[in-house]
Amino acid sequence: MHPIRLISFGYLHLTTGPDGQPIPPAADRIEDVRDRLRDPAAARDILDLDGLNPRVQDIVLNTPGARELLANLAEYADLPAGPRRIAIGCAGGKHRAAGLAELLARELRARGRQVDVDHLHVHLPRVLKPADTGASA
């Protein structure tokens, strides 16, 4: 089977198109987890960590719905004419998207797949939208 590239990104860091909507990276499947998975950054003690950290990955994995999503993405990646690129996006690309991409890479490698991971925005500071600044979670 061909290698697969996983891309994590943050919607708040993307360039917008003429319609004002963010333009995600090119991929066979784009998984937007902003509304699917609770933001682990609400746990204030991990704000300075990112999805490359095993602690953040554990929090992401134990978020309701994450295990099912991970299983679905792994099955999708294993389809006979499966994808070459899967992009996973969250708000800033620092916690959920990066953590899920790392977890998926681990699962696919355990299945014998060659996987490359690109984290487009994991190194950038956390983005706070005005709606996020006063929210407590």
**Which stretches of the chain are DSSP H helices?**
54-61, 66-77, 96-110, 130-133
Q: How many CB atoms lie within 10 A of CB 137?
A: 10
CA distance 23 to 17: 6
Q: Encode pLDDT of 26-48 as tens digits.
A: 999 999 999 999 887 777 778 88
The answer on pLDDT for 132 being more than 50 is: no
pLDDT above 70 coverage of the chain, percent: 92
Query: In whole angstroms, what separates CA 98 from the centre of its chain?
Result: 4
SS3 (DSSP) at 73: helix
Which residues, in sequence order, are bridge partners of residue 117?
Answer: 6
Residue 128: predicted pLDDT: 66
SS3 (DSSP) at 123: coil
Which residues, in sequence order, are bridge partners of residue 31?
Answer: 88
Residue 44: predicted pLDDT: 73
Q: Encode pLDDT of 92-127 as tens digits.
A: 999 999 999 999 999 999 999 999 999 999 998 877
Instruction: For residues 62-77, give the mean pLDDT.
Output: 96
CA distance 25 to 97: 13
Residue 2: predicted pLDDT: 86
Residue 85: predicted pLDDT: 97
